[in-house]
Amino acid sequence: MQVAVLPSGPKNAKVMVVGEAPKQKDISAGEPFSDSDGKELTNMLHDAGFLRTECFLTNITRVKPPQGKIEKLYLKNTLQMRIASSELEEQIQILAQDIEDVQPNIIIALGDAALWALTNERGITKWRGSIMECQLVPGYKVLPTYHPANILRKWDWRFIAVQDLRRAEKESHYREIKYPDYDFIVRPEFDVVMKALDALIKRADNCGGG
C-alpha cells in the first residue's frame, strides 16, 4: 500500500512551494521536505526572507514513485513531448485542488518536473527566475527555480536560486501578474534614432565617470 505524504503549512499561505515527490524520510516524518533537501530549502527560504512555517509545502505527487524517480510516472518523455501516466495525472489534479483551496499569491516550482506540471513548459535553466502564469490553474503566478537536491549537487547554483526566491518574496505580496509597461517605437525617423543614441552615449559617459 502506498503511503501518501500530505502537504504541510497553513491553508491560507501566500506562498506555495511545489517539489517533485516524497522520499523515504518524508514518508517516515509524515511531511514533505524532511531530508537534507528540505533542510537546505529551509535555509534558502530564510535567506530570501521567508519563514518555512509560513509556506504551504507539497509535491507534484503525494506518493513515492517507483525507484523514487518521478520519470517512472511518465508514459512518454522526449524532447518534444511529455505525457503523464493516469496515476501521475490523478496526483496533478490533487495539486490543482490544493492551489484552489490555498489561493497563494505565488507558487514556487522547484525543478523541471514542477515547472512542467504547473506551466506546461520545460527547461528549468531557461525559465528559472521568471514570473509565469500557471496553466494548471489559470489566474495564479509561478516562479520556477532549481530544486534543493540540484543545489546540493551543484553548490554554485545556490546564489542564483536564493536570488530567485528573493524575487518570489517580493511577488508574494500580491496575486496579479504585473507585466512591464513597454513603449516601443516602430520604424522611427532618423532624427529620433540619433537622439536616442546620443542620450545612450551620454548616459554611458556619465556611468564611466568621464
Residue with C-alpha cell 513531448? 81
Across 79-83, average pLDDT: 90
Q: Give the Cα separation of 189 and 62 in Å (integer).
A: 59
pLDDT, position 114: 98
The answer to whether position 200 is within a domain reads: no
Report whether pLDDT(96) > 90: yes
Per DSSP (E only), the strands in 100-197 are 106-110, 132-133, 141-145
Q: Give the Cα separation of 202 and 5 in Å (integer).
A: 59
Across 11-19, average pLDDT: 97
Lowest-pLDDT range of 51-60, 62-71, 199-208: 199-208
Concatenated DSSP letters of 134-153: -SSSTT-EEEEE--HHHHHH
The answer to whether position 100 is within a domain reads: yes
**Residue 126 belongs to what domain range?**
15-171
Report whether pLDDT(158) > 90: yes
Report whether pLDDT(112) > 70: yes
| Short-list 140, 131, 196, 200, CA closest to 16 | 140
Burial of 201 (0-12, 13-18, 19+ CB in 10 A): exposed
pLDDT, position 208: 58
pLDDT classification of 200: cutoffs 50, 70, 90: confident
pLDDT classification of 119: cutoffs 50, 70, 90: very high
Position 48, amino acid: A
- The domain tally of the chain equals 1
Report whether pLDDT(52) > 90: yes
Q: How many angstroms from the chain centroid is the CA of residue 156?
A: 18
The answer to whether position 73 is within a domain reads: yes
End-to-end Cα separation, the chain, in angstroms: 72
pLDDT digits (tens, 9 = 90+) for 166-194: 999 999 999 998 876 666 777 888 888 88
Report whether pLDDT(93) > 90: yes
The answer to whether position 49 is within a domain reads: yes
Residue 85: phi and psi, rounded to 5, are -70, 165
The answer to whether position 188 is within a domain reads: no
The domain that holds 124 is classified in CATH as 3.40.470.10
Cell numbers for 137, please give them: 490553474
Q: Give the Cα separation of 94 and 157 in Å (integer).
A: 31
pLDDT, position 182: 64
Q: Are 57 and 40 in contact (CB under 8 A)?
A: no
Position 125, amino acid: T
Q: Are 56 and 11 in contact (CB under 8 A)?
A: yes
The answer to whether position 162 is within a domain reads: yes
Q: Strands 15-19, 55-59: parallel, antiparallel or unpaired by DSSP?
A: parallel
